[in-house]
Amino acid sequence: MAQNPNLAVIERFVGAVLSGDGETVKGLCAPDFQLHEGSGLIFAGTYHGGDGFLQFLGVFADTLDIERLEPIRTYVTDDPDYVVTEMEVRATVRATGKLFSSSLLERWRFRDGQVIEIAPHYFHAM
């Protein structure tokens, strides 16, 4: 089975996020991109487009002092337009000083080499 080309898109996207390269992030997001953050989170909501994703990053950084955010596994499916990544996060909630530690799964969806949706699921609430 050939390697899923969208794995390279995830790698570029995550690398751009970690290096602060917002232009690359926006270029990898389809115009109709959506990030869905669950209702149990401080930063809950749907963020639209590349600019929306960058807005989310600001809210995320304002909310959490990240100690660890690390990919653990990547799951591929028969449909190359869907990939799931498993991550571990450990952070301090800035407003309360409370420790937040969770594993999470992110379902990524692609179209024509661009990300059209990321839907994270955290296993522990804040």
66-82 per-position pLDDT tens digit: 999 888 999 999 999 99
Lowest mean pLDDT among 29-33, 36-40, 104-108: 36-40
**pLDDT band of 2, cuts 50, 70, 90:** low
* pLDDT at 102 exceeding the cut of 80: yes
Residue 53: the pLDDT is 98
* Long-range interactions of 39-45: CB distance < 8 A, separation 24+: 40/122, 40/125, 40/126, 41/122, 41/125, 41/126, 42/93, 42/95, 42/126
Residue 70: the pLDDT is 87
Dihedral sign for Cα 89, 92, 93, 98, please.
positive
Tell me the pLDDT of the chain averaged across its residues: 93
Note whether residue 1 is domain-resident: no
Which CATH number belongs to the domain containing residue 34 in this structure?
3.10.450.50
Q: How far apart are CA 68 and CA 72, in angstroms?
A: 12
Domain around 91? 6-122
- Structural domains in the chain (count): 1
Q: How far apart are CA 48 and CA 76, in angstroms?
A: 25
Nearest CA to 91 out of 71, 62, 120 is that of: 62
Dihedral sign for Cα 13, 50, 108, 40, please.
positive
Q: How far apart are CA 110 and CA 6, in angstroms?
A: 7
Note whether residue 47 is domain-resident: yes
